[in-house]
Structure 1
Amino acid sequence: MNQALAGIAAGILSLHLWPQLPGYLWFVTALMIGGFISSFGRFKWISWVVVGALVAKTGATAYLEAVEMIPLERQNITIVGEVSSLLNQNIPARDVDFKVGSLNHQPLPRGRTLKVRLDWPQEEKLKRGQRWQLEVRLKRPYGRVNRAGFDAERYFLAHGYHGRGKVLQARQLPPAALPDLRQQLFDQVVRLTQPLSRQPYLLALGFGFRDGLEHHDWLVLRDSGLAHLMAISGLHIGLAVGCGWWLGRMIRGLSPEHPRLLWLPVWLAGVFACCYAWLAGFSLPTQRALLMSALVLVLIRLRIQWPGWQVMLVALVLCLLVNPLGTYGAGFWLSFAAVLILYIANLSGLQPRVVDSPTLPQTLLGRLKALALMQLALMLLMLPVQWQWFGGISLVAPVVNLLAVPWVSLVTVPLVLAALATVWLPTISGGLWWLADCSLIPVLALANQAEGAWWDIPARGMVYLLGGILALVVMWFLPVRRYKAWFLVMGMVLGSWYGWPGRDDSLRPSASTAGWQLDMLDVGHGLAVLIRRHGRAVLYDTGNAWEQGSIANMVIEPVLRRDGITRLDGLILSHADSDHAGGLNDVLARLRPQWRRSSDHRAGFAPCVRGETWLWQQLNFRVLWPPKRVTRAANPHSCVIEIQDSARASGRPVSVLLTGDIDAISELLLARLEPGLNPDILLVPHHGSKTSSTATWLATMKPDFALVSTARYSPWRLPAPEVQQRYLNKGAQWLNTAEHGQVTVYIDQGKVTLARYRQDVRGGWFREVSR
């Protein structure tokens, strides 16, 4: 059985190895042939790998078929369905999950589901379970693709969203069933906890509802390592099982002996776990914990003993069968990795030693020591998983968790469970919620002390940390005195891994003192370009900003920190429009550029006007436009800069022209001022608008690469097709962030190498790409 389970798991996870489904189909076919041949020999497990691969292929195909029901180009569509989000009417939440039942008045095929996330300006009080007829503008899952930062397409895939849209008109339909019970319970708890200052945390612990947590709250939870506690996680499902077991034993002990009460603790433990997971909406971590708890309870009932690893393996396969695409989310890997690490740590002797007749201080000290070692093991061994998904780790997480986990587990969560169980008795439930609120005071006070303890780990330093973790793990099981030669070889191997890169560096040419790179980041409609050399960077424009954040925080800073850059050498603002300068305040606050330039009058900024030149990292910066500074720089006043590597390049120097949003008139005047201008790499002016890139401007140019920063679903429909064709007629390679994600140009000794992140670096069968 174990061989079959492992084969199925391997087959499902093999989907991650194939960027395109047609290639994966050939892989599955080859596996089927191999499985048939080997079914008579020693490798029967291949047949189970085929089963897993078919499950993965079926799940992926079903997802893509559902996505393809949404038109490729964004259109107005009429849909009918029901609200599936848990909503708090006191918190304005524009993102609403919606299960679609019919599309353009046509019912969906039987067995087909369509789940979309809608931007819904809430004029009505929405409730989970309500049925609506909506006119919406839908689009397929699409998001920014950069070296680091949030990946919306992967998030949509992992959570089963098939599209995103905006509600234009809405009409509520008569209810076809009773109001949603989960929403009713939630509304009652919202009313009971309304006066409490820590209500958002209580709702997260009670229902997995985290919309009430502000951005600052998330930063504190991240820095303290307590994010896993402020939601219904696997740990809390285990606590629910424990509470149900304890209650069952209490009832059985106080009741007359009866055969039917013998297994009451088992049944109550299962009921508590199922109810708590239902309140959380059966999220992925709760699925894992619920399956493992159910398996253990069934085994206890049947008086069967299984080792812990076998229970984990069965739970893993069941989770994969239920949701094979859930492996594209962080929750899957964090959940199973944490359980596996705790199991291994438990086997390797982190539990307190058993002594004859221990005293109470000895017992407490032993348990405290074991808990501390467990937290240290979690921090170290979870580092690769956390780095992969979040790019760093909290250095104080073991200490904070050592104190907070027992308190939340033994005090807060039981109070929350009791308050939920008595929710129909408002007086009792309200008192329990107040006690739970008070119990969070020391936890959050401790978490606030850890603010700023997050450590971003650059990609080039991660290999040494991984090597150190591997060495510690091996030393744990293999004493150094007995295996000196083995450790010597391992040290030599680790020492030879200098400069281990991220995946995208496989496309980078061999490093040299003359090499530099240009990163046109994928920021949607806007612009942010990084010029980098020798581990230092200059930023040209900051992208846009909005109420909850900015491109600076969401894209620019994560990309820089991934490579170990925490501060900018310089910042250049082309002009003052929000899509180019919206993230200015965040850049100044978090990336602290040493020097700044702009084409308008700004405090602390040097001029960026024609005639200005400077040398940075042996790169020549020459400003070509505008002729003078203005009060507020608009599109025609964009700072146009030519960058050349002639100072250090031994071959032909490569020139880059950054153009901002200059218009046709500015192009004409600049063409007269610079008649011989012919860059190798040209940033297309004004995102490829019809008002720029005139034939006069391009007459003397023949760029090898034309870079344009646009959004896939831009309301301005940029770039204009005729503008793109002008560059193609010039023989330029057209590189658009809407089609290629982040575009990185490596320049070394006159040679240019490209990396398109959507196709070459972070590709996947679920991504929409242009080939």
Structure 2
Amino acid sequence: MTQAAIGFSIGVLSLHGWFALPTLTTILMVSLLGGGIALFIRFNYRYYAVANVIFGSIAGIIASYSTTYHYVETVKQVPAMGANITIVGEVDSIQNVIIPTDSFDFTAQASLNDTFTLTTPLKLRLFWPQASAFKQGQRLQIKAVIRRPYGRVNQAGFDAETWFVGHRYHGRGTVVSAVVLDADRAVYELSSVSVRQQLFDRAVALMEAAPHRGLLLALSFGVRGDLSDHDWLWLRDSGLAHLMAISGLHIGLAFGLGWWFGKLCRGLLPESPCLLWFPLWLGLLFALSYAWLAGFSLPTLRALFMACLAMLLLRCYVLLPHWTVLLFALALCLAFDPLASYAMGFWFSFAAVAVLLFINASNAPLPDMSIWTLRWRFRIKQLFVLQFTLLLLMLPLQWYFFGGFAFAAPLVNFVVIPWVSVVVVPVILAAIVTLSFPSLSSALWTLADHALFPVQWLGEQTLGHWLHLSSFWLPVGVGCVLLTALLRWLPFSSFKVLYISLALGLVSWQGWRIQTINESQDTSQKSWQIDMLDVGHGLAVLISRNGRAVLYDTGNRFPNGSIATSVIEPVLKAQGIRYLDGLILSHADSDHAGGADFIVQRFSPQWLRSSDVRESYLPCIQGQRWQWQGLTFEVLWPPKRVKRAANPHSCVVRVHDGLLIGDDGKRTEVLFTGDIDAISELLMARLFPMLNPDILFVPHHGSATSSTATWLADMTPQYALVSVARYNPWGLPVKSVEQRYHDKRIPWLSTAEIGQVSLQIAPSKGQKQNRIQFESARRHYQRTWYRSLFVPDAVDVRVDE
């Protein structure tokens, strides 16, 4: 069974390597071939373990294919380009008017449109300003524009499409109007609003004025929508963000409280064989109830699976190693939902438990100490070792998902986890249980709120203690994991201090080496790179060379964030860029300059340029020219600076490397155009008749007011790049404009179709022109089976290399 569980997990996780969904014939052929090999090994060589792993892998592949095929067919019900439809269904998420939100989960069960039919219910993520007024369980008739769950795709930052897959969303949409079908019923009638929603509303009403309401709701109902950006910042920097996801720690506490209460009750009642297992059953009931309050999230399911397995084994008097129980829980979780591995919580949940089991297995047993102070000192030492080992072994996951780690986490968790476990969570559970007694429950919520004051205070002391790691540090992280694991089995324990010292020296040397390489690069290096980030509607382009970078435009700004924080910062950190050498703003529109303040504050550019009057900004006007890292920047437009730069005043910059390869060689030119219009294009065409860039940024996102035939008449760029949102309300890019580029056989690279576009420009040996190597996030380093499902009309771009 153990080998089969291993094989099943491997088979399901192989889904991450599928670039496209295989056909049923392929799956059958692989299954038959694998089954034949397994039978041959089993009966001819008696390698039963290997055969069981193969059989388990086949079962895992079939399970993942079946689930994925059903998911794909369900998503395909949503038209590729979206549709305006009327649907009937049920609200899935819990909300409250006190907690503002603009999105909610909705299960569409029927369609009222003749042209759109539903054969399978759709799980949708819908957006509406009045979303907080809905209640979980209410049936709604909604008119909405729904689309497939498309999202921005970049080399770093939040991957919305993977998140949609991991949470089984089939589409997203915007609500036009909504009607509650059961509005005539009482608000809290059980047939209408869910019991969980009712408990949530009662709890929110009792803690409405609590300073830590967001933390309380996260720890009780798993609802994190009330946490502010400041809360998330100190939670991240302190390494306490894991406490805000109800997981094994919380479920284990609930199980322990239930077991303790059951044991107390059993001691007060007459002895009976029926009460032998009462503490365990009550503990499981407490754990199940807490998981239900949290909405049966993935970490809670993992903890429940482990609790149920442990209880079943105890009930059957079967003793298995902890690793085996974890492995069975992993297989059960993947069997329950093969797509669960696309959720970040899946990896952190199982990895954390695996690390804890590893530490527990390698810890020395508690020595026989008669003095209690010595025993406590030994325990405290073990807890410190546990926290630091957790930090090291979880480092690769932290880097992969968050791009860094909180180096103060071991110390903070050493203090906070016992406090939250012993004080905060029990009080919160008591407050939930006593919701029917408002006065008592309110007092308990107040007590829990006060108990969170030291948690927040300690967390806020770590603000700024988050260490971003670029991809260069990945070998160091993997090395830390391997070294930490090997130290547990190294002989000559008295020399472990020497081993650790050597390891720290190696890590320090690697960090110094990386820093030295980045700083010692000179401007004679030939290659440079252009990254047009996928920012939706707007523009943000990174020009990088020798580990240094200049940013052209900063994307849009929103009420609750900006492109600069969600896209640009993660990409810069992933590339190891801590500071910017320069920032150029094409014009003042929010979709181009919305994140300027954040970029200036966070990355401290050495120089700033814009075509309008801004404090501390140098002018970006026609005739200016400067050098940077061996590249030449020339400003072609506008002719003068204005008070506020609109589209026609966009700062048009030509960047070239000035390389001459051979006697009649040609330099590589890139033209950044901002949002210039037809008149600006005409005037520039007269001023610069020889203008013919190798890489052209399509003006104004491909609108009908730009990219005129006159402008393009004498241009033959190798690539035309356009930054545009896939479902923008302006219909950009205009089909006629796009066709104009296709007619001239100019490759069209759109972020709406292929995500982030990266062009590396380098000399090509033996060629008279530089070599431009093209990569895209959606087609290259982020390629997987669901990308083409969400963007089915994206075309492959052929690049001659």
- TM-score range (shorter-chain normalised) is over 0.9
- Letter aligned with residue 88 of structure 2: V
Aligned mates of 2:706, 2:147 — CA distance in 1: 28
Assess if the C-alpha contact under 8 Å between 1:638 and 1:662 holds in 2. Answer: yes
Q: Return the match for 2:695 from 681, 699, 704.
A: 681
Q: Return the match for 2:219 from 199, 205, 209.
A: 205
Instruction: Name the residue aligned to 1:507.
Output: none
- Letter aligned with residue 219 of structure 2: L
Aligned mates of 2:18, 2:510 — CA distance in 1: 27
**SS of alignment partner, residue 22 of structure 1:** coil
Assess if the C-alpha contact under 8 Å between 2:659 and 2:666 holds in 1. Answer: no
Assess if the C-alpha contact under 8 Å between 2:85 and 2:113 holds in 1. Answer: no
Instruction: Name the residue aligned to 1:600.
Output: 612
Instruction: Name the residue aligned to 1:378.
Output: 390
Give the C-alpha shift of residue 377 in structure 1: 0.8
Higher mean displacement: 18-27 or 667-676: 18-27
Instruction: Name the residue aligned to 1:36.
Output: 36
Instruction: Name the residue aligned to 1:555.
Output: 567
Change (3 A) 1:381 1:492: closer
Q: Return the match for 1:137 from 145, 155, 168.
A: 145
Question: 1:94-133 to 2 correspondence within 5 Å?
Answer: 94-104=102-112, 112-122=120-130, 125-133=133-141
**SS of alignment partner, residue 124 of structure 2:** strand
Give the C-alpha shift of residue 24 in structure 1: 9.2
Give the C-alpha shift of residue 669 in structure 1: 0.5
Question: 1:235-250 to 2 correspondence within 5 Å?
Answer: 235-250=249-264
Instruction: Name the residue aligned to 1:581.
Output: 593
Q: Deviations for 1:681-716, whole angstroms, at most 9, x for unmatched residues?
A: 100111111111111111111101100000110111
Aligned mates of 1:55, 1:255 — CA distance in 2: 47
Higher mean displacement: 538-547 or 360-369: 360-369
Aligned mates of 1:738, 1:114 — CA distance in 2: 24
Instruction: Name the residue aligned to 1:405.
Output: 417
Assess if the C-alpha contact under 8 Å between 1:159 and 1:329 holds in 2. Answer: yes
- Letter aligned with residue 16 of structure 2: H
Aligned mates of 1:481, 1:240 — CA distance in 2: 39
**SS of alignment partner, residue 335 of structure 2:** helix
Q: Deviations for 1:109-158, whole angstroms, at most 9, x for unmatched residues?
A: 67x33100111221883111000101000011111111111111001110
Q: Return the match for 1:342 from 342, 356, 366.
A: 356
Assess if the C-alpha contact under 8 Å between 1:656 and 1:679 holds in 2. Answer: yes
Question: 1:216-295 to 2 correspondence within 5 Å?
Answer: 216-295=230-309
Give the C-alpha shift of residue 34 in structure 1: 2.4
Instruction: Name the residue aligned to 2:767.
Output: none
Change (3 A) 1:490 1:256: closer
Q: Return the match for 2:753 from 714, 739, 742.
A: 739
**SS of alignment partner, residue 432 of structure 1:** helix
Q: Return the match for 2:723 from 696, 702, 709.
A: 709
Assess if the C-alpha contact under 8 Å between 2:391 and 2:409 holds in 1. Answer: yes
Instruction: Name the residue aligned to 2:156.
Output: 148
Q: Deviations for 1:554-594, whole angstroms, at most 9, x for unmatched residues?
A: 11111001111111100001111111111111111111111
Question: 1:138-217 to 2 correspondence within 5 Å?
Answer: 138-174=146-182, 177-217=191-231
Give the C-alpha shift of residue 35 in structure 1: 1.6
Q: Deviations for 1:513-556, whole angstroms, at most 9, x for unmatched residues?
A: 11100000000010000100011100001110001111111111
Assess if the C-alpha contact under 8 Å between 1:249 and 1:264 holds in 2. Answer: yes
Assess if the C-alpha contact under 8 Å between 1:618 and 1:648 holds in 2. Answer: no
Aligned mates of 1:500, 1:273 — CA distance in 2: 50
Aligned mates of 2:756, 2:511 — CA distance in 1: 26
Higher mean displacement: 678-687 or 418-427: 418-427
The percent of aligned pairs where both chains have the same amino acid is 50
Question: 1:499-514 to 2 correspondence within 5 Å?
Answer: 513-514=525-526
1:311 and 2:325 are equivalent in the alignment: yes
1:765 and 2:785 are equivalent in the alignment: yes
Runs of 5+ unmatched residues, structure 1: 502-510
Aligned mates of 1:632, 1:421 — CA distance in 2: 59
1:645 and 2:657 are equivalent in the alignment: yes
**SS of alignment partner, residue 56 of structure 2:** helix
**SS of alignment partner, residue 382 of structure 2:** helix
- Letter aligned with residue 159 of structure 1: H
Instruction: Name the residue aligned to 2:436.
Output: 424
1:540 and 2:552 are equivalent in the alignment: yes
Aligned mates of 2:210, 2:719 — CA distance in 1: 58
Assess if the C-alpha contact under 8 Å between 1:544 and 1:582 holds in 2. Answer: yes
Aligned mates of 2:82, 2:117 — CA distance in 1: 19
Aligned mates of 1:699, 1:648 — CA distance in 2: 26
**SS of alignment partner, residue 243 of structure 2:** coil
Question: 1:58-77 to 2 correspondence within 5 Å?
Answer: 58-77=66-85
Q: Deviations for 1:494-522, whole angstroms, at most 9, x for unmatched residues?
A: 99999999xxxxxxxxx981110000000
Q: Deviations for 1:426-479, whole angstroms, at most 9, x for unmatched residues?
A: 222222222211111111111111111111111012212322332232233123
Runs of 5+ unmatched residues, structure 2: 43-49, 515-522, 764-769, 797-801
Aligned mates of 2:513, 2:22 — CA distance in 1: 32
Instruction: Name the residue aligned to 2:766.
Output: none
- Letter aligned with residue 236 of structure 1: H
Instruction: Name the residue aligned to 1:506.
Output: none
Aligned mates of 1:482, 1:122 — CA distance in 2: 65
Q: Return the match for 2:535 from 523, 527, 532.
A: 523
Aligned mates of 1:128, 1:439 — CA distance in 2: 30
Aligned mates of 1:196, 1:550 — CA distance in 2: 29
Q: Return the match for 1:92 from 100, 103, 106.
A: 100
**SS of alignment partner, residue 747 of structure 1:** strand
**SS of alignment partner, residue 244 of structure 2:** coil
Assess if the C-alpha contact under 8 Å between 1:147 and 1:559 holds in 2. Answer: yes
Aligned mates of 2:446, 2:703 — CA distance in 1: 58
- Letter aligned with residue 756 of structure 1: S
Instruction: Name the residue aligned to 2:622.
Output: 610
**SS of alignment partner, residue 41 of structure 1:** helix
Change (3 A) 1:580 1:138: same
Question: 1:361-510 to 2 correspondence within 5 Å?
Answer: 361-479=373-491
Assess if the C-alpha contact under 8 Å between 1:28 and 1:53 holds in 2. Answer: no
Change (3 A) 1:596 1:496: closer
Assess if the C-alpha contact under 8 Å between 1:25 and 1:57 holds in 2. Answer: no
Q: Deviations for 1:187-223, whole angstroms, at most 9, x for unmatched residues?
A: 1111121232212111111100111100110011000
Q: Return the match for 1:752 from 762, 767, 772.
A: 772
Assess if the C-alpha contact under 8 Å between 2:77 and 2:118 holds in 1. Answer: no
Aligned mates of 2:360, 2:582 — CA distance in 1: 50
Higher mean displacement: 390-399 or 172-181: 172-181
Assess if the C-alpha contact under 8 Å between 1:101 and 1:108 holds in 2. Answer: no
Assess if the C-alpha contact under 8 Å between 2:104 and 2:131 holds in 1. Answer: no
Assess if the C-alpha contact under 8 Å between 2:196 and 2:293 holds in 1. Answer: yes
Instruction: Name the residue aligned to 2:674.
Output: 660
- Letter aligned with residue 19 of structure 2: P
1:332 and 2:340 are equivalent in the alignment: no
Aligned mates of 2:602, 2:466 — CA distance in 1: 14
- Letter aligned with residue 692 of structure 2: N
- Letter aligned with residue 778 of structure 2: R
Aligned mates of 2:617, 2:20 — CA distance in 1: 48
Change (3 A) 1:366 1:480: closer
Aligned mates of 1:622, 1:27 — CA distance in 2: 57
